[in-house]
Amino acid sequence: MGFTETNGHRNLDKALGNMFFRLLPWEYAIRNLFRRPLRTSLTFLGLTTVILLVLIVVGFIRGLERSLAVSGDPQTAVVFSLGMGENLEYSSIAMRTSDLLPASIPGIQERYGREYVSPELYLGTQIGVDGREPAMGLVRGVTRSALLVRRQVEIEDGDWPETGEIIIGRMAGTKFGATSAETSIGQSIELEGRSWRISGLFSAGGSAFESEVWCRLDDLQQAMKRQDLSIVALALTPTADFSDLDLFCKERLDLELQAIRETDYYASLQKDYGPIRWLAWLIVLLVSGAGVFAGLNTMYGSVVGRIPELCTLQVLGFVRRSVVISLIQEGVLIAVAASLLAALIALVFVNGAAVRFTMGAFALRIDSTAVLIGCGVGFTMGLLGAIPPAIRALRMPIVDGLKAV
């Protein structure tokens, strides 16, 4: 009977020990990171690089999405040539269209007898700066009415262009490869065989307009020897019915026009750039996967060299789960530290950096979503990189582990 009671107590103690196992002290994992400074530094540097790459790619996606999202105005409609799709730079409509629309369409905004109608000539062309090889840029010939219709545009410095002058968006220089000094007020650029003086700089709330060069409509028409327009943009009142404009374009077959809301136009561009965004997310997954495998390799090397230490901990009474959790703590600690450093670098040096793209230029955006994704990838790398090597090392019998060199 005594023997049975003893076995029962042992089984109960074992069950309680498995349920309430003792963890290694938290500072044990921290001390282990500093015992091998070279290995820890290399691992930290590698993880920081991987997470920074993830943040850059996510910042690219977020910047592209924001640039297109803020470009459209729900009260603005665009009239352009039939059959052009999203290629507004290839559109060609009659000059008289800008007079026909306000005379035929109700619901156009008006102030002091002036309709909010902007006739524009929009195209991509070669732009040269300071004797360099010309690069492709976006040019829009406009009148002062453009400021009424494009409400997000604000002149930050300088003046509205006069004859022979241009005003450029704050990211236009990035689009055609010029520095901020080369696109400052008073400098000149080569456009359509003429030299144009920069009279001012404008911003547009991060929209696509910021990568454009604006000049007077009549100047651009004269330089290109054209008398037509690319588009007519008009601002509708909140109570206006877009179907009136759409019906006018369909009825006037002689003009060959079509109309679209500006928000719908940029939404279609979002859809067109969908494959690029998916490719960018695929890059994020590939970079993250490479980081996980690099973490696995590093942790394997670290754990294999510590097999006698891990087995000694088990002899001292720590169950294998406690040792595994301690190793996971090490991996997560270094990954979290790398995530914080990468996020700091991205916010200071990457956020707001301008990049060229087919639609113009936009700024990389390291927002809360990008930081959350980057830190999540870092935490995952630290977690997944530590579990497999820890389990593999602890499968070895304790006696053999103590003899390992």
Q: Specify the 3-state DSSP secondary structure of 86.
A: coil
Rounded distance between C-alpha atoms, residue 311 and residue 61, angstroms: 47
pLDDT (average), residues 149-175: 92
Question: Residue 332: its pLDDT value, please?
Answer: 84
Predicted confidence at residue 378, as pLDDT, reads: 87
In this prediction, residue 168 carries a pLDDT of 94
Place of tokens 């582990």: 401
Q: What is the pLDDT of residue 6?
A: 47
Single-letter amino acid code for the residue at 246: D
Among the listed ranges 118-122, 132-136, 251-255, which one has the minimum average pLDDT value?
132-136
Asked whether residue 17 carries a pLDDT value surpassing 50, the answer given is no
Average pLDDT over every residue of 166-179 = 88
How many whole angstroms separate alpha carbon 255 and alpha carbon 89? 18
One-letter amino acid for residue 383 of the chain: L
Given a cut of 70, is residue 405 above it in pLDDT?
no
Band of pLDDT at residue 89, cut at 50, 70 and 90: confident
Beta-strand (E) ranges in 23-89? Answer: 76-81
The pLDDT assigned to 2 comes to: 43
Looking at residue 21, what is its pLDDT? Answer: 58
The closest of 259, 201, 271 to 232, measured between CA atoms, is 259
> pLDDT by residue (tens digit) across 44-63?
888 888 889 889 989 998 99
Quote the CA–CA distance of 199 and 207 in Å, as a whole number.
21
Q: 332-363: per-residue pLDDT in tens? A: 888 899 999 999 999 999 998 888 877 678 88
| Residue 19: pLDDT band with limits 50, 70, 90 | very low
Residue 96 has pLDDT above 80, yes or no: yes
Instruction: Count Cβ atoms below 10 Å from residue 198 Cβ, excluding itself.
Output: 22
Distance CA 229, CA 98 (A): 9
Between helices 368-394 and 307-315, what is the axis angle to 10°?
70
Task: Note the pLDDT of residue 9.
Answer: 43
User: For residue 198, which phi and psi values (nearest 5 degrees)?
Assistant: -80, 120
Phi/psi at 117 (5° precision):
-130, 125
Least-confidence region, from 29-33, 36-40, 96-100, 111-115: 29-33
- For residue 15, the model assigns a pLDDT of 43
Ramachandran category for residue 380: left, alpha or beta (phi over 0 → left; psi -120 to 50 → alpha): alpha
Range in 4-13, 283-292, 326-335 with the lowest mean pLDDT: 4-13
In 70-122, alpha helices (H): 97-104
What is the percent of the chain with per-residue pLDDT over 70, rounded to a whole number? 84
Q: State the average pLDDT for the chain.
A: 83
Q: Percent of the chain, pLDDT > 90?
A: 36
- Is residue 389 predicted with pLDDT exceeding 80? no
Residue 268 has pLDDT above 50, yes or no: yes
CB 332 within 8 A of CB 379: yes
What's the confidence (pLDDT) of residue 403?
59
Residue 88: how many other CB atoms lie within 10 Å:
18
C-alpha–C-alpha distance, residues 110 and 207, integer Å: 24
pLDDT tens per residue, range 232-257: 999 999 998 899 999 999 998 888 99
